[in-house]
Amino acid sequence: MQAFPIFLSLQDRRALVVGGTAPAARKMELLLSAGARVSLIADTVTGEIAQLISEHRISWAGRTFEADALDGMSIVIVACGDSLLQAHVSRAAQARGLPVNVVDTPALSSFTMPAIVDRGPVTVAISTGGAAPALARRLRAEIERALPAAIGRLARFAEIFRAQVGRTILEPRARRLFWDRVFEGRVGELALAGDEIAARRELIRLLDSVRREPAPAQGMVHLVGAGPGDPDLLTLKAHRLLQGADVIVYDRLVSPEVVAAGRREAERVCASVEEAARRVITFVRAGRSVVRLASGSSAAEFEALWVAGIPVEIVPGVPEIAPAACSVNITR
């Protein structure tokens, strides 16, 4: 990861844009949608920007840039064609510790602008670190096609019950599993369809059932075949389990790319084949859900876990011969 991804709150904060170009207009629209108070420095502007000024949506701060124009600003965007002005503004902003983006010039920028999918309040940002903006736009188009247009409605619905669920389900893992049931089940379907009354009724019923259900005494382990090392060759079930795991136990023969396919917050433990079963038993008895990524046969570990009374499921991986066969052109 070349840069640290964050979402910056700009509600009622001041933002400075230098340049009156069409790219500047696009950046202003984004800043305004985030609630920023936008000031502009430019000697000439497009018709679109002129309209923003006439509607008092942005304020024009003059034709030339001086360093004191940065006073009180939270973010700076430069969208002009003057390379000397670009460098001057970038140096002045970075000297004050202000985040600055010079459009299409990563070397002068302290942050890059991602491609954005906006399903408010759900926002997806895609960045290539300035290396390939066209690729980021293509990925954005793919995500827009895959993401339901009403996903923001589901997020707003969940926000209504967030505090109540937090008071009712105190244990973090149990709370995460509850929300998984909400988003993947009937509640999510109803909320996406716009039937909020039925969704509320179903969520309350689900929350009441959680109150009555005793907490599980122990977790479970899934023995997942890591396959030949390419995360794209993991089975769909393996991907789902990795995203739901509390702990991922793996040995040194499992590729880092496959280990990285797991949930970001999951604890990752590298253990020898001999030690893995003992570590897994400890985690499961503590009530945690464990994925054991195995590079080879897991028969011995399965037997050790079965003898210890640990709930276990085997999820086979893709055989190593399969990807090799796919890459070979065999003719008679």
Q: How is residue 293 written in tokens? A: 């990524």
Answer whether residue 272 shows pLDDT above 80: yes
Q: Which CATH class is domain 151-212?
A: mainly alpha
Which one-letter amino acid corresponds to residue 187? V
List the one residue out of 281, 297, 218 whose CA is nearest residue 249: 281
134, 121 contact by CB (below 8 A):
no
Question: What is the Cα–Cα distance from 131 to 247, expressed in whole angstroms?
Answer: 34
Q: Omega into 323 within 30° of 0, i.e. cis? A: no
pLDDT at 3: 85
42, 72 contact by CB (below 8 A):
no
List the one residue out of 103, 100, 145 whose CA is nearest residue 124: 145
Q: How is residue 127 written in tokens? A: 């960045």
pLDDT digits (tens, 9 = 90+) for 157-171: 999 999 999 999 988
Pairing of strands 58-60, 312-315: unpaired
CATH level 2 (architecture), domain 14-113: 3-Layer(aba) Sandwich (3.40)
Q: How is residue 77 written in tokens? A: 């965007």
Question: What is the Cα–Cα distance from 280 to 247, expressed in whole angstroms?
Answer: 9
Q: How far is CA 143 from CA 123, 128, 138, 139, 230, in A?
A: 11, 15, 9, 6, 22
Confidence label for 79 from pLDDT (cuts 50, 70 and 90): very high
Percent of the residues in the chain that have a pLDDT greater than 90, as a whole number: 65
In this prediction, residues 82-107 reach a mean pLDDT of: 96
Answer whether residue 139 shows pLDDT above 60: yes
pLDDT digits (tens, 9 = 90+) for 195-220: 999 999 999 999 998 888 765 556 88
pLDDT digits (tens, 9 = 90+) for 217-242: 568 899 998 888 888 888 889 998 99
Mean pLDDT, the chain, whole residue set: 90
Do the first three CATH levels of 151-212 and 220-320 match, i.e. the same topology?
no
Confidence label for 131 from pLDDT (cuts 50, 70 and 90): confident
231, 261 contact by CB (below 8 A):
yes
Question: What is the Cα–Cα distance from 180 to 78, expressed in whole angstroms?
Answer: 42
Q: What's the CA angle centered on 162, arms 156 and 163, to 5 degrees?
A: 135
pLDDT at 11: 97
In this prediction, residues 80-91 reach a mean pLDDT of: 96
Question: What is the Cα–Cα distance from 52 to 31, expressed in whole angstroms?
Answer: 13
What residue ranges do the domains of the chain occupy?
14-113, 151-212, 220-320
Residues in the chain: 332
Q: Which CATH class is domain 220-320?
A: alpha beta
